């Protein structure tokens, strides 16, 4: 199945999704997906209602767009539906509105159900330059057996949230021990 058909098949179940749903009039309607060198790209043009300050895109919209981009990266590169367990963002520059934005995502690592992803949001200048306005890293979890070939994903009750560094997981018991030992 070609990329356009895969995207269409997935979106069919998520028409009202705030990030990518084509039928959600208030949403971002992220689209125009492509894959190059293990990176997924897409674009969106925010609506005037998506601004924070006059002429500046709301930071929550940037966060949402990057979260959505990294989820699509998992869907298109690994064929799994994911839920975000942890999202770290860095805002680089004010993001102007009106403007069109290019999103990119890549899979950095996969260990079983846990996927470590990164993404960035950029605006392209008329001179051909590109300015990154925000970047993110996410730890996402796929639900056992979930693939993009099935009905809409319903996340399970358990999601692994790694501590820093992202390649370790802190259990509730080790966290409570460290709290007791530090209180003296």
Cα separations in angstroms, 12 against 43, 68, 173: 19, 16, 42
- Residues 117, 74: contact at Cβ < 8 Å? yes
| pLDDT over threshold 90, residue 165 | no
Mean pLDDT score, 24-53:
94
Per-residue pLDDT, 147: 65
Q: Is the dihedral of CA 76, 11, 29, 161 positive or negative?
A: negative
Topology adopted by domain 3-155? Thiol Ester Dehydrase; Chain A (3.10.129)
Q: Residue 124 has what pLDDT?
A: 86
Question: How much is the pLDDT for 61?
Answer: 96
pLDDT of 145: 62
Residue pair 95/121 in contact by the 8 Å Cβ criterion = yes
Lowest mean per-residue pLDDT among 1-15, 18-32, 144-158: 144-158
In this prediction, residue 108 carries a pLDDT of 97
pLDDT at 86 exceeding the cut of 60: yes
Confidence (pLDDT) at 144? 65
Cβ burial 23-60 (10 Å sphere, 16+ → b, else e) = eeeebbbbeebeeeeeebbbbbebeeebbeeeeebbee
Between 61 and 152, the higher pLDDT residue? 61
Lowest-pLDDT range, 58-67, 89-98, 160-169?
160-169
What are the residue boundaries of the structural domains of the chain, listed by start?
3-155
């Amino acid at each position: 199945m070609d990329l356009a058909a895969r995207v269409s098949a997935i979106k069919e179940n998520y028409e009202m999704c705030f990030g990518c749903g084509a039928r959600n009039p208030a949403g971002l309607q992220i689209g125009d997906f492509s894959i190059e060198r293990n990176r997924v790209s897409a674009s969106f043009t925010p609506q005037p209602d998506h601004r924070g300050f006059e002429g500046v895109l709301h930071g929550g919209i940037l966060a949402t767009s990057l979260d959505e981009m990294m989820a699509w990266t998992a869907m298109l590169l690994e064929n799994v539906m994911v839920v975000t367990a942890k999202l770290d963002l860095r805002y680089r520059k004010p993001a102007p509105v009106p403007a069109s934005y290019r999103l990119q995502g890549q899979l950095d690592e996969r260990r079983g159900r846990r996927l470590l992803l990164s993404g960035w949001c950029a605006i392209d200048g008329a001179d051909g330059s590109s300015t990154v306005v925000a970047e993110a890293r996410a730890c996402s979890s796929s639900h056992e057996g979930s693939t993009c070939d099935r009905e809409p994903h319903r996340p399970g009750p358990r999601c692994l949230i790694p501590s820093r560094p992202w390649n370790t997981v802190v259990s509730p018991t080790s966290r409570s021990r460290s709290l007791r030992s530090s209180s003296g």
